[in-house]
Amino acid sequence: MNYMDMFNFMALCAGDSVLLTPSDDGYWGLVISTVITGIAVVFLVLAILIALLYLMGAILGRKKKSPEPVRTEVPVVQPASETVEEVCEDDGEVIAVISAAIAAYGEAEGKQYRITGVKRRDKAQRSGWSTAGVIENTRGF
């Protein structure tokens, strides 16, 4: 009996037995076989997808070596001293978060970034279109 036969057999049994109660014969057989079949089918389907992904990766993927050296520390913010404006406590935290996000993104592409300057962008200089774009892209957050 192959996999599909087993599945169809179970479905057929259940179709006749879906009204079984715990005191009926075959109830526990159906329950246990549902558990085993369910777990087995989920693993089987996802195992096939794993094989597919490895195959796809081998055929279509670009193999990229990890960049050396592997950084083990939190990305360090190194602002250039001559261009740092007065940074209040809140700004420091924001700068650190943005730096970490950029560093993580750069790590995925094998690049490293160093901050050379921090300057607050005057919001008044941003055009209406630019502001709308920023709002739209950050709305989900």
Contact residue for other proteins among 26, 52, 76, 134 (CB under 8 A): 52
CB closer to other proteins, 19 vs 124: 19
Token couple for 18: 């879906």
Per CB under 8 A, contacts with other proteins among 111-140 are none
Residue 90, amino acid: D
How far, in Å, are 87, 101, 130, 135, 137 from residue 141 at the CA level?
Answer: 24, 14, 18, 10, 9
Please report whether residue 76 would count as binding other proteins according to CB under 8 A. no
Q: Which stretch binds other proteins (CB under 8 A): 11-19, 77-85, 86-94, 120-128?
A: 11-19
CB closer to other proteins, 52 vs 80: 52
- Do residues 117 and 83 make contact, with C-beta atoms less than 8 angstroms apart? yes
Q: Which stretch binds other proteins (CB under 8 A): 61-69, 88-96, 114-122, 127-135?
A: 61-69
Contact residue for other proteins among 26, 29, 74, 114 (CB under 8 A): 74
What is the distance between the alpha carbons of residues 79 and 99, in angstroms, rounded to a whole number? Answer: 11
- Do residues 3 and 36 make contact, with C-beta atoms less than 8 angstroms apart? no
